Structure 1
Amino acid sequence: MDNSTKQYDVVIVGGGWAGSLLAYKLSSANKKVLVLEAGIAIDGLITNPDENQLETGSRAEFMDDFFMAMAKTPESPYVQNYNAPRPAVLDIRPVTSPPAPEDCADPIKSINNGYFIQKGPIPFGSTYERRGGGTSWHWLGTSLRMMPNDFKMKSVYNKAVDWPLTYEDLSNYYDEAEFEIGVSADVDEQKIHGITFSDGYVYPMAKIPPTILDNTMDKALANVTFDGSSLKVTGTPAGRNGVPNQLKDGSFYDNGRRQCQGNTNCTPICPIQAKYDATISMAKALMTGNVDIIYQAVAFNITIDEATKEVNGVEYKTYDKIDGPSTGTFTATGTKYVIAAHAIEAAKLLLMSNKQLPNGVANHSLQVGKNLMDHPMYLGWGLMPKPVYPFRGPLSTSGIEGPRDGAFRSERASFRIEIGNEGWNWPAGAPYNQVIDMVSPLPPDKSGKPTIGIFGSQLRKNIQSVFTRQFRIGFLIEQLPDDNCYIVPSKTCVDNLGVPRPEIHYSFDNYTMEGFKAAAAATETIFKAVDADNKTGIPVGDGGVFTYEGVKYYSQGAGHVMGTHRMGFTNEDSVTDANMKSWDHDNLYLVGCGSFPTTATSNPTLTMAALTFKAADAILKSF
């Protein structure tokens, strides 16, 4: 589909979270929108069915791949696309390993060894998807609001920077995002650390019921504190369908999706689409008749009008097959341009676009690509004294939110604690790895020669005893912006289309490492309170390893990629203003989690959606 000669009101690069929400809101206001999506089309979202669309995907195909995969990782349902690659678990390497191969003469072979060019000293362990709907396919569904103090870290705790907006500025957009996603939660339960709601506000749906594990921990931790913070268990707002609530006008919320059936694989895929994904918003955008999508269109350069300094085009390459050559190069043109291509890919595109501007597009501040952040995860796992029956229901239905804010943030990172319903699946590969170990354990010398394990009634007894008592908790630890954490386009490694791959430089400062230290101490407090046997050790996959004050810690990525084109107050230390409009180019907007000045501790998706709606309003007002 060649739309290179067609003029649009808005050209959006990226058809994931932000791109789909923007397309929907802008097209609903009768703006003509073009979306350039690097990944393959999804059945039901193809706008040009008469053309030879060689690569497509569907939920049924993804589920088949998921069922057949031994390791149920976030990527397991999805085939690697060598023309729009995404990182995989192979990218997660201990710092003692050599850096990723720099010899990229064979891009496909090199990408199979890891898409990121990891420069450390700690590996960046988070992944994302590049296809219609983007990473929304494998998000967990957690839809937490940020807290008022999260927007003013500098002014309240003298750390990092303040956001150029407040919680109050975003409150109505949170409402809008929650209704578009379809969030299940309880307002009264979410009023913590200054979070407020408009009068009479109710979430679209009632909260997802707690599990046996949630109730067990709630009873044990009701009056327990850690470092001055309550460890009370509360329900976690989720972007999946629960029981519809009655709204202010007397009607009941209805988004047309199925109610959650308790499949324990929200990550990597909901089999029945009870959980929101961005294809839902994109489908509604297409129904307006104002949106065109070009799939398999990889943006590689942004062009600038020399006289006005405005963007006047986005160059992109097309392909027919995920491992085939480019089928052409085109230019998309519009009045306004939005880069909504994920924090890493967006920064890479801006920095690659250096033919006219040596430092890249939108980079007067030299902050593009800088301040790469995540929520590094500390995992704790153990055995309850009595069965709590994991491996049922959504992956997480409750959490501990008290430690998200407090005076301690002047000294160390805060965190929220996610309660996992999938036993030891994440940290230890249960039940797969553990059943293998029971049947054929390795000898103490790790020689690799199998020894006799347990079978029959004894195996059943062990499974019933161990698996029914498993539980894990995960700490999403705050990370501050840091110039030492950044992404640049690789000078030596490219993908199958010849587009540079991301080179990642990543580490933790003392503030974050103090958060890990506190997380380990909080784990001991929690396990003691619930009378659990603490089995915390080295997670499967051996993620980022670092030593702090003589203690070794193992970090896992949360998949919450933030920073790289942050918003701010001036063009000297930020890339965009509070509406996500570039300081440098009046018709360019940069939307997505890359806009976050700081990370706080809440999963960033809901805030990203709210910010996207804010940017959409600003774009509409600019015409």
Structure 2
Amino acid sequence: MSESTPPPTPDYDVVIVGAGLAGSIIAYQLGSAGKKVLVIDSGVAVPTSREAYMERFYTALAKTPESPYPDNPNAPRATVLQLGADGAWKDPAKTYLDQSSSTLPFSSTYERRGGGTFWHWLGSSFRFLPDDFKLETLYGHGKDWPINYDDLGQPLPGNTSAYYDMAEHEIGVSANVADQGYHGVTFTPGYEYPNPGIPLTLTDEHFLSAVNGKLSFEGEAVTVYPTPAGRNSRPYEGRRVCAGNTNCIPICPIQAKYDPTVTLNKALNTGNVTVIYQAVADKVLLDDAHQNVVGIHYITYTKETVRSPSGEGVAVGKTYVLAAHAIETPKLLLNSRDQLPAGVANVSGQVGCNLMDHPLFLRWGLTPESTFPYRGPLATAGIESLRTGAFRKERAAFRVEFGNEGWNFTAGDPETTTLDWTDGTNHSGTNPDQKRLFGTALIDKLNDLFTRQFRFGFLVEQSPEDSNTVTLSDLKDELGIPRPKINYNLSDYTKRGFVAAQQLTDEVFQAAGVTPFTKPLAQLKLDPGYFTYTDPVTGKTSDFEFFGSGHIVGTCRMGDCAEDSVINRHQQSWNHPNLFITGSTIFPTIATGNPSLTIAALAFWAADNVKAQLGD
């Protein structure tokens, strides 16, 4: 897939900012309908081969989500190592995100390149639950969406397929309908996923047999369900079957896991879509009446690895779609202050507000018998039955992801435990007597430990808070564009979800005969993603460590009225009728399911809305 360069000032039907999941789907849908589309993206072009990325990953000492992908000073991004180092996240000189005044670290990252952050997504492809769209009405917390489940889960008038159906078929989701119809989720009559479900692992089956039909928690059954996966369980659309690699994050070496470069390539093949890479959008331009968008100003650069600004341009179309992510989209709108004092599309003052993630709570241990982890995919099942319930009136919900990568995430294994038993240390917690083993004794010990490792990842629902913001920093990047300034914290409602997660861990581990392991408290307090919660009733204090899930949502939410949202239910700006905003930034709440499938479904809907505006 090569870069295409249009004439200097072309007119298109639609200009899209961002070549990630949402932008690629919309470009493909509009291009297939005969519309002339221009996509501008801040990153480099999609490579013809991913071998260079794989080599970077293989040779990187830290296998972080960003490890395969080069740093780009012209389109910078935060990295896990920058955000995870003690104190580094508060130092703007050490990371792209300015969090100097933030209470807690926002520790999720994203990619700025053709295909977007989905280069390193896990592949979990959940539909949101019906309750997730009406959180405020049902439970008195969060914010209702201006749409409901049926708007995405059932065909709308004039459509033959539901938007969730379209998203699952574009991604190639592997799942079985019989496994996914819980908590009110419904499907189009006769619907089947495009691929059969991925088989469960021995770890999945161990916990399923221990809790299904046997354990309840706060009035809800504890039930293990298979995870719908955006990877192939059989050959699909010319892509291969998942081969069980355990590096789904950060890169699938054979593209059995879907990523948006697949859809972007199909968009280009329509002959109606043009992509300009290495074009960093920095301003949305308005007409003299400050009503309609008349262009997107962008800055170009020549090289990926060094600062190399080379010029500027204006992308001109009839309709404009911003699909640039939940941090870069509000940054672009707010940086257009020369058009309107508060920035473009900010009639409600909500642009940049309600930044959310799934703060990730990890627990890990050893199963009583060998379940043989360190085989992919990374996650194939989890506890989904606690994603909603009456408890949401008091605390955040969560889903529980079972990890198949042993203690790689939680303890840095297999290296950490191996060194503990050869050097006589105890960083993993498995060698409290600090023994040193050699030969057969060492092999037997490591085989025993490595074949029983597992981890739980609790994706905790975060409540939307106006105080969690993306604004403009006084600091600028290498192209002279203001950097994102982040203010981030967790509400007590969210923190109470962590308390419940720990209680559930204790009960499930006991039922499954698990030996639990945790980090020593002294080590925990050195971690930046750390908070203490004191129960106001019991006075009990609990210490928690959390990580980012990479699920960056909010900041330009959709709503029913202009007073408290940025766009309407059709993903159209309240005060700029030819401006649409889509992607993760438009979520009013984050719910508990991974957001990817809902991003895709909303993109299909946005494409229909843009087509309706353009007409025939």
1:579 Cα deviation from its structure 2 partner? 1.3
1:274 Cα deviation from its structure 2 partner? 0.4
Q: Distance in 2 between the 1:441 and 1:314 partners?
A: 60
Tell me which residue corresponds to 1:47: none
Tell me which residue corresponds to 1:107: none
Tell me which residue corresponds to 1:34: 38
1:437 Cα deviation from its structure 2 partner? 2.9
Out of 582, 585, 601, the residue aligned to residue 610 of structure 1 is 601
What TM-score results when the alignment is normalised by the length of structure 2? 0.92
1:454 Cα deviation from its structure 2 partner? 3.2
Tell me which residue corresponds to 2:519: 537
The size of the alignment, in residue pairs, is 584
1:339-394 deviations in whole A, cap 9, x for unaligned?
Answer: 10010000111111100201101001000000000011111000111111000120
Whether 2:358 is the aligned partner of 1:367: answer: no
1:459 Cα deviation from its structure 2 partner? 2.2
Tell me which residue corresponds to 1:411: 394
1:230 Cα deviation from its structure 2 partner? 1.8
Counterpart code for 1:26: L
Counterpart code for 1:365: S
Q: CA RMSD in A?
A: 1.7
Whether 2:213 is the aligned partner of 1:241: answer: no
Tell me which residue corresponds to 1:340: 323
Whether 2:220 is the aligned partner of 1:229: answer: yes
Out of 493, 500, 505, the residue aligned to residue 487 of structure 2 is 505
Whether 2:288 is the aligned partner of 1:280: answer: no
Out of 60, 64, 68, the residue aligned to residue 69 of structure 1 is 60
Correspondence list, 1:469-488, <5 A = 469-488=452-471
Tell me which residue corresponds to 1:250: none
Q: Distance in 2 between the 1:36 and 1:403 partners?
A: 41
1:554 Cα deviation from its structure 2 partner? 0.4
1:479-525 deviations in whole A, cap 9, x for unaligned?
Answer: 1110111111211x222212121111000111000000000111101
Instruction: Name segments (4+ residues, structure 1) moved above 4 Å.
Output: 441-444, 538-541
Out of 167, 178, 201, the residue aligned to residue 191 of structure 2 is 201
Counterpart code for 2:465: D
1:441 Cα deviation from its structure 2 partner? 4.6
1:117 Cα deviation from its structure 2 partner? 1.1
Q: Distance in 1 between the 2:222 and 2:403 partners?
A: 16
Tell me which residue corresponds to 1:154: 136
Q: Determine helix, strand or coil for the equivalent of 2:447.
A: helix
Instruction: State the identity %.
Output: 51
Contact 1:379 1:536 survives alignment (8 Å): no
Counterpart code for 2:63: K
Q: Distance in 2 between the 1:554 and 1:605 partners?
A: 25
Correspondence list, 1:31-110, <5 A = 31-44=35-48, 58-93=49-84, 97=87, 100-102=90-92, 110=93
Q: Determine helix, strand or coil for the equivalent of 2:555.
A: coil
Contact 1:347 1:369 survives alignment (8 Å): yes
Contact 1:303 1:313 survives alignment (8 Å): yes
Q: Distance in 1 between the 2:258 and 2:190 partners?
A: 24
Tell me which residue corresponds to 1:124: 106
What TM-score results when the alignment is normalised by the length of structure 1? 0.91
1:432 Cα deviation from its structure 2 partner? 2.1
Q: Distance in 2 between the 1:98 and 1:180 partners?
A: 39
Q: Distance in 2 between the 1:130 and 1:511 partners?
A: 32
Q: Determine helix, strand or coil for the equivalent of 1:619.
A: helix
1:70 Cα deviation from its structure 2 partner? 1.8
Tell me which residue corresponds to 2:371: 388
Contact 1:92 1:542 survives alignment (8 Å): no
Q: Which runs of 5+ in 2 are unaligned?
A: 154-161, 428-433, 535-540
Contact 2:284 2:333 survives alignment (8 Å): yes
1:175 Cα deviation from its structure 2 partner? 0.3
Correspondence list, 1:348-359, <5 A = 348-359=331-342
Out of 372, 387, 406, the residue aligned to residue 423 of structure 1 is 406
Out of 552, 571, 575, the residue aligned to residue 584 of structure 1 is 575
Correspondence list, 1:242-257, <5 A = 242-243=233-234, 254-257=236-239
Q: Distance in 2 between the 1:533 and 1:362 partners?
A: 53
1:544 Cα deviation from its structure 2 partner? 1.0
Out of 12, 25, 28, the residue aligned to residue 24 of structure 1 is 28
Out of 449, 458, 461, the residue aligned to residue 466 of structure 1 is 449
Counterpart code for 2:98: I
Counterpart code for 1:618: N
Tell me which residue corresponds to 1:53: none
Correspondence list, 1:442-461, <5 A = 442=425, 453-461=436-444
Counterpart code for 1:545: Y
Q: Distance in 1 between the 2:490 and 2:531 partners?
A: 9
Contact 2:16 2:40 survives alignment (8 Å): yes
1:233 Cα deviation from its structure 2 partner? 1.1
Contact 2:90 2:102 survives alignment (8 Å): no
1:4-55 deviations in whole A, cap 9, x for unaligned?
Answer: 41100000111111111111011000111111110111124xxxxxxxxxxx
Out of 584, 588, 595, the residue aligned to residue 593 of structure 1 is 584
Q: Which runs of 5+ in 1 are unaligned?
A: 45-57, 103-109, 245-253, 445-450
1:98 Cα deviation from its structure 2 partner? 7.0
Whether 2:506 is the aligned partner of 1:521: answer: no
Q: Distance in 1 between the 2:465 and 2:290 partners?
A: 33
Q: Distance in 1 between the 2:221 and 2:237 partners?
A: 35
Q: Determine helix, strand or coil for the equivalent of 1:174.
A: helix
Q: Determine helix, strand or coil for the equivalent of 2:356.
A: coil
Are residues 242 and 434 of structure 1, via their aligned partners in 2, closer, same or farther at CA, if it must alter by over 3 Å?
A: same
